[in-house]
Amino acid sequence: MTDKSTQPEAWKRPALLVLALVLILTMVRLGVWQLDRASQKQAILDDRIQRSQLTSVDLSSLDVNNEELRFRLIEESGRFLPNGTVFVDRQVVKGKVGYQVFTPFVTQSEQTILVARGWVSVGDSREILPAVETPSELVSIRGRLNTPPAQPPLWDERYAISDGAVWQYLPLDEYAAQMQLNLFPLVLELAPDTDAPTALEIDWPTIDDKWVGKHKAYALQWFAMALAMLIISVFMLFKSIRARSGS
């Protein structure tokens, strides 16, 4: 007569092994997916770095509908529009809070682009904006194309984006509508070594994608968990076999 007390245990072991195998394969698959994502992000990053090393061109030679213009080096001559200067708030440089200063610039080919001129400290009071000189004569500028300051995390749409010349972030469409300008779809960040009399404190962020490293770290975690599960499963399997052979 079969001992019914052993039946549940006999049914549990194969089910647990199958479950462990499914979990291991799932973890490995997730690790491979994370590596694939890291590879995709690395390809994008390499393309951006390559673009940043190309010879400088002027805006008129670019296709504004091309989505691969970010970090392209630009050289232009033209004039600033001082009345369009705005200050993007809460920009931190070297641990200090200040503003990123933007002024529209009309090129000699009559294109208008918003220029990120650099950073300036808040000063003693937020009630008074820092004094920023803007040349009115024809000047030459050099820099790279980039996206404007993005919407802050957890932004509440009930907040006002701008208060006079102070903006919390810089949506180009809204700025262009307020200033009645036809703007190039990216901003021009002045180069750190620019000698134009328009530059404030400039520190170009490294062209990097933190998610490349994060995807690789996540992949390592999934592989480590899969290995741990495999070791535990093999240990439990051998323990079960030894217990059966000893009974």
Tell me the C-alpha distance between 194 and 5, whole Å.
83
Q: What is the pLDDT of residue 13?
A: 63
Q: Which residue has the tokens 């990120």?
A: 116
- pLDDT band for 10, please (50, 70, 90 cuts): very low
Query: Which residue is listed with tokens 């393309």?
Result: 47
- Measure the CA–CA gap between 93 and 202, rounded to whole angstroms: 9
177 and 161 in contact (C-beta within 8 Å)? Answer: no
* Residue range 80-111, pLDDT digits in tens: 999 999 999 988 888 888 999 999 999 998 99
How far is Cα 160 from Cα 165, in angstroms, rounded to an integer? 12
DSSP 8-state code for residue 136: -
pTM attached to this predicted model = 0.66
| Tokens 């504004």, residue located | 64
Answer whether residue 2 shows pLDDT above 60: no
**H or E segment to which residue 107 belongs:** strand 96-107
The larger pLDDT score, comparing residue 233 to residue 195, is at 233
One-letter amino acid at 6 equals T
Provide the 8-state DSSP code for 151.
Answer: P
What tokens appear for 166 in the block? 């102070």
Residue 196 pLDDT exceeds 60: no
Note the pLDDT tens digit of each residue in 12-27: 567 777 888 899 999 9
Terminal C-alpha separation, the chain:
18
The whole-angstrom separation of Cα 95 and Cα 220 is: 33
**Pair 99, 89: CB distance under 8 Å:** yes
Residue 178 — φ and ψ, nearest 5°?
-65, -40
* Contact indicator for 216, 34 with CB cutoff of 8 Å: yes
* pLDDT, position 1: 47
